[in-house]
Amino acid sequence: MSFSHTVVRKVLTVSLCAVIGFTGFAFGQAPSASAATSKADKIILLGKKYLGVKYRFGAPSGITSAFDCSSFVQYIYGKNGIKLPRVSSTQATKGYKVTKGKLKRGDLVFFRTKRTGSKIGHVAVYLGRGKILHTYGSAGGVTYSSLNSGYWKRNYVTARRVL
């Protein structure tokens, strides 16, 4: 083997080791935005499995035969490794605030209700394209609604990103 072949082999070997090493290093980086999106998709997919499950105010944590808004959100996020408090007004203190115009899939959106007056009394999951997934009494259970019309538009308070 000639000197030039030996040098070429060594350069290729060192280059290949560097590529493999840097690729392995990249796997150790923090999760990217797509990882957060993936978690949001998993949460939403799980939530959709419960479409039609009946609403029951004060439904206990962890049961799936009935939900209220905050037990539903607590359950589907908890199954995906995100611990949230049991009550919507306390859930509204977690993560960080996002404006309505900057909502992303998986963000929590909060509303006032007749029962709570001007205070937060309802939570939903933002699905994108102006839609939310949640549960409440008159809907008959877990359902979709439009964030930007009717009751939900009039009673919107804030949103939080917990992913």
Along the 163 residues of the chain, how does pLDDT read in single tens digits? 554 544 434 444 444 344 444 434 344 444 455 666 689 999 999 999 999 999 999 999 999 999 999 999 999 999 999 999 999 999 999 999 999 999 999 999 999 999 999 999 999 999 999 999 999 987 779 999 999 999 999 999 999 999 9
pLDDT at 91: 98
The H or E element spanning position 103 is none
- Catalytically annotated residue among 69, 84, 142, 163: 69
pLDDT at 138: 74
Residue 29: per-residue pLDDT: 45
The confidence score (pLDDT) of residue 32 equals 53
- Please confirm, yes or no, whether 5 is among the known catalytic residues: no
**pLDDT score of 37:** 62
Tell me whether residue 69 is one of the annotated catalytic residues. yes
15: its two tokens: 């280059």
φ, ψ of residue 133 to 5 degrees: the values are -120, 125
Among 122, 125, 152, 159, which one carries the catalytic annotation?
Answer: 122
Determine whether 122 is an active site residue: yes
The one catalytic residue in 39, 105, 134, 161 is 134
Nearest CA to 144 out of 160, 129, 162 is that of 129
- Which among 93, 82, 56 has a CA at the least distance from the CA of 71? 56
pTM above 0.85, yes or no: no
